[in-house]
Chain A
Amino acid sequence: MPELGDVTAPPRAKQAESKQDKTKSSLERAFMDSAERFLLKHQELEQIALATLQVARLLMVSGARAEVVHEGSAMVALGLGAEHAELRSGYASLAITVGAGINTITRMAGVGPLGVNHRLDQAVRGLARRVQKNGLTPAAVVAELASLERNTPKHPPWLVATAVGVACAAFGRLFGVDWQAFLPVIVAVAGGQAIRHGLLQRGANVFVTSAIVAFLSSCFCGLTAKWSGSATIDSAMVASVLLLVPGVPALNSQSDIMEGHPTLGTARAVSVVMILMFIAIGVLNARAVLGIGP
């Protein structure tokens, strides 16, 4: 005699229940599989997005135009397996959306101070071409980028300082600086470049650095040009700060606007104007200290 509560289902109902369980578990399994696949795809896309952002960041900091940054990042993202990639480039940050099938992911990264480094730019472009052709893994791309950033050859700081000194003195000759001021400009600019390098290495603000270097270089140049008997002290003082004039960003800003990236182009143009303003403040103070002009 069955006890109360000991309810045993009839055999037909049991069969239906077990069939229902099987269907349910196969549905659950399918759901889990698809969720796992989704998560896996999501993780893969995240790796692709992060590696692509690293490529875009390095291109930006080495002075590439926005169009090059966009083209390079698309090559890398598609080469790594994404089906589509859209980059948004700002002055201080980059955001990318990569997708494959119904999955998409958006990630963002800061850029850091923008400069000009031609050999690094070429090396990163070479990597982008290889990824597009051979399809490396995201981890390999990130590792290679870190190695490029560390190991791309650079000219020694003393050579850069001397070369920039000679370049600015030559530039000065182009707009009429006399021979007596030639050497003072070289020495003032070389010293200014050494100070700029030191300050930027210590993380100093780029605008403040421009004003300090402009003041010191033009002060030194004005004094030594006066002492060497130059008749073009004013022009020599201007030549001594030409190393600070952001020529490449000025040209890039125009190209960016022309090529359909007005936000980045405008931001670059504003930063160029700001740097010119800080250079002028430095030179004006030097002129006041030396008693030249207003």
Chain B
Amino acid sequence: MTIDYLHLLHQTLFGALAASGFGILFNFGWRELLWCAGSGAVALTTRTLAQDAGWSLEAASFVAAATVGSSGRLLRSHLGMASNALAVCGCIPMVPGSFATHAIFGLFALTAPSAQNATLMMTTTVEMLRVAFTIGAIGAGLSMTTHILRTRDF
């Protein structure tokens, strides 16, 4: 496994920036925004390392979501009751919004008069499946840690 440290740093920084920006949109408090940034950084670092190790996007997203979810649970005493919400916020930069939009473009393009239907159908199907599996993997990673490391706190 070869790690491109510059790329890793880039993904970590922008993951943190994206998560904290969305944290403001979701009305997190100022103190929690730092944790949002940390959560996004952990998510993107884990996903990038897993992808560098040759894992697929879906598997890497699952591991990243599970890491963020369990870190939140372990740091619960510092984070208060918001650990689950912080984990969700950290995972938002991993939601494949770009793939989803491209997949829908593909669906529209399939109906165009001069569409290369066979190739386009293949690309669009692959993108749609990647969107579904990646969102599924993130959700599963978060939910599984929530249920395995369950606490009585509300």
Contacts and interface: CB of A to CB of B under 8 A. Distances in A.
Interface of A: 63, 68, 71-72, 75, 116-122, 125, 128-129, 153-155, 159-160, 163-168, 170-171, 173-175, 193, 235, 238-239, 241-243, 245, 247-248, 250-251, 254-255, 258-259, 276-277, 279-280, 283-284, 293-294
Interface centre among A163, A165, A193, A239 (most CB of B within 10 A): A163
Interface string B66-99: 0000000000000001100100100111010110
Given A255-B139, A258-B143, A276 B100 contact: yes
Lowest 4 CB-CB distances: which A-B pairs, in order?
A: A167-B21, A254-B139, A280-B104, A163-B24
Nearest to B111: A294
A239 B14 CA distance: 13
Contacts, number: 144
A121 B27 CA distance: 10
A241 B101 CA distance: 9
Interface of B: 10-11, 14-15, 17-29, 32, 44, 81-82, 85, 88, 91-93, 95, 97-98, 100-102, 104-105, 108-109, 112, 115, 135-136, 138-140, 142-143, 146, 154
B44 A71 contact: no
Contact of B154 (A71, A154, A171, A239): A71
6 contacts: A118-B26, A125-B154, A174-B18, A174-B93, A251-B95, A276-B100
Contact of A293 (B15, B95, B105, B135): B105
A164 B14 CA distance: 13
B140 to A, nearest CB: 7
Contact of A72 (B92, B98, B140, B154): B154
Contacts of A71: 154
